[in-house]
Amino acid sequence: MAEHAVKTEKYIQAKPILKWAGGKRQLLGDIMPKVPDIYGKYIEPFIGGGALFFALNPKQAVIADSNPELINMYQQVADSVDGVITYLRKYKNTKEDFYAVRGLHWTRLPKEEAAARTIYLNKTCFNG
């Protein structure tokens, strides 16, 4: 009797990369029950850390945030996560590195490094 391989797909729930002022992560228990079971296209005008967006995991969505640095970070994580991680590994959690990285202008960096800078500053600054 031949053995049959069983294909199983692992479902991994995406979680926010960033901690964002005004984030909804702590409010998800209150918000989620109020979301209708059926809705059309989800439009997210202010993605921030994306807690609600990732919790909903909408099939059709538009992220309409006008913060270009934040949008670059999400695009680079989606398209080139290994490059972003490579840059993140170069940063140390020291006062000197923090101020040096903060002093870099994100638009003058390669897009992957700009994304790493956004994540690094978010994770090492106050309440990050």
Residues 45, 101: one domain? no
Residues 120, 75: one domain? yes
In a domain, 38, yes or no: yes
In a domain, 97, yes or no: yes
- 79-99 pLDDT tens trace: 999 999 999 999 999 999 999
| Cβ 38 vs Cβ 77: under 8 Å | no
Q: Reply yes or no on whether the pLDDT at 1 is more than 70.
A: no
Residues 74, 98: one domain? yes
Q: Give me the domain span that covers residue 104.
A: 67-128
Q: How many domains does the chain have?
A: 2
Percent of the chain with pLDDT over 70: 88
Residues pairing with 63 in the sheet? 44
pTM of the predicted protein model = 0.82
Given this model, what pLDDT does residue 23 score? 84
Cα-to-chain-centroid distance, residue 16: 5
Residues 84, 128: one domain? yes
